[in-house]
Amino acid sequence: MNSTKSFTLQTQAGSEKIGEALSAGRNGFLRLPHGDVETPVFMPVGTQAAVKCLLPGQLKEIGTQILLSNTFHLYLRPGHEDIRFHGGLHRFMGWDRPILTDSGGFQVFSLSKLNKITDEGVVFRSPLDGSEHFFTPELTVEIQEALGSDIAMVFDECAPHDAPETYIRQAMKRTYEWAKRFYKAHSKEDQMVFGIVQGGVSIPLRQESAEQITSIPFDGYAIGGLSVGEPESVTLAALEATCAYLPKDKPRYLMGVGTPELIFASVALGVDMFDCVLPTRSARHATLYTSGGKVHIKSAKYKRNREPLDPRCDCYTCRHFSRGYLQHLYARSEVSGMVLGSLHNIRFLTAMMENIRISIRERRFEAYRKAFFDRYRNQDGSE
């Protein structure tokens, strides 16, 4: 089964200068049971076994290689045994390309009422019905094996980024112990397992966590607990410090990051994978990405705009409709507006990743980054 999971770097880092430093940007292939994923890659999020507003056929059409789904939500509803009954998550949701499942660590700590954190695991109450549940590393292995995802994430403790160092250190220690137990309990051969580096925004703690987690031979390493409210410069410093301690031959995944600014900066630091709910959530709230910057499409100023949302985009939305029509759909709260917006936002990031990969292969990543941001401003793209 090992041939169904591997990571190969096609273009290595260090060949191109970015400012004073050498770019660590890399282009690789992640071979997974449900197909190959070319990195760097952005993974749309399908929390409830569905990417909000989009169908699998639409996601394929816009070049989505891999989706993220969520252990925490699927465990609570419909339940992983239901999904096992349905033949696993791929079959259940009609998606035959790779899936990465988050372990639920982040959600247990951010969405539910915690009753007790012990070395053994976490007792929490369901935010849905108040029922009590107990997550251990072993249980999150069991759930993710039942889901049958291509990549399972370890169960970790996510300390708030502004927590005192003693707390962060304690959470790190527990995350390390849990990672060892998770790795030991895991038995599904055709499923990759990624460890997660924590450590808040402290560079020494990040390095310590990276050394601990990379001492376990995971198939890849994620960077958790960043971009959760701290300034971007702090994020990038912690990220750079972490990446320096990660093995070069394993995939690196920066969890929860999805803005063009952070993606470009992280790719330059050698990150391979990203996920974020922002593109679909923004689309549901009428904020759409374009090559000229973000557009709040509900604004009345677009009523008589006959231009496509983004003339540089090849998606269904941009090929068929005007900004005026999108404004109308959003202003009328038509579901089709959210569908067309979500489709476009995911295509926008997916196309950006395609261009990033090509630019790395052609040793012109920095030139592409500059060209991208010469056009893209983090403001209304119509001005």
Residues carrying an active site annotation: 102, 275
In the complex with a second copy, the residue whose CB is nearer, 39 or 327, is 327
- Min. distance of Cβ 236 from a second copy in angstroms? 35
What is each CA distance from 61 to 141, 242, 275, 277, in whole angstroms? Answer: 32, 35, 19, 19
- Min. distance of Cβ 294 from a second copy in angstroms? 22
**The one among 155, 325, 348, 365 contacting a second copy by CB under 8 A:** 325
Region binding a second copy by CB under 8 A among candidate stretches 105-113, 212-220, 234-242, 337-345: 337-345
CA dist., res. 353 & res. 123, Å (int): 39
- Cα Rg, the chain, nearest whole Å: 21
Region binding a second copy by CB under 8 A among candidate stretches 1-9, 89-97, 103-111, 134-142: 89-97
Angle at 95 between CA 91 and CA 101, to 5 degrees: 90
**The one among 77, 116, 285, 361 contacting a second copy by CB under 8 A:** 77
**The one among 17, 60, 82, 211 contacting a second copy by CB under 8 A:** 82
Q: Is 334 in the site for a second copy (CB under 8 A)?
A: yes
Give me 115's structure tokens: 């009753």
Q: Which of residues 209-238 bind a second copy (CB under 8 A)?
A: none
In the complex with a second copy, the residue whose CB is nearer, 166 or 332, is 332
Q: Which residues contact 282 (CB under 8 A, 6 or more apart)?
A: 288, 289, 294, 345
In the complex with a second copy, the residue whose CB is nearer, 180 or 328, is 328
**The one among 94, 204, 229, 311 contacting a second copy by CB under 8 A:** 94
In the complex with a second copy, the residue whose CB is nearer, 13 or 339, is 339
**The one among 4, 11, 48, 170 contacting a second copy by CB under 8 A:** 48
- Min. distance of Cβ 68 from a second copy in angstroms? 16
Q: Read off φ and ψ for residue 238, nearest 5 degrees.
A: -65, -35
**The one among 160, 331, 372, 380 contacting a second copy by CB under 8 A:** 331
Angle at 253 between CA 251 and CA 256, to 5 degrees: 170
Q: Which of residues 289-318 bind a second copy (CB under 8 A)?
A: 303-304, 306, 316
Please report, as ranges, the residues that interact with a second copy according to CB under 8 A.
48-57, 77-78, 82, 85-87, 92-94, 303-304, 306, 316, 320-322, 324-325, 328-329, 331-332, 334-336, 338-340
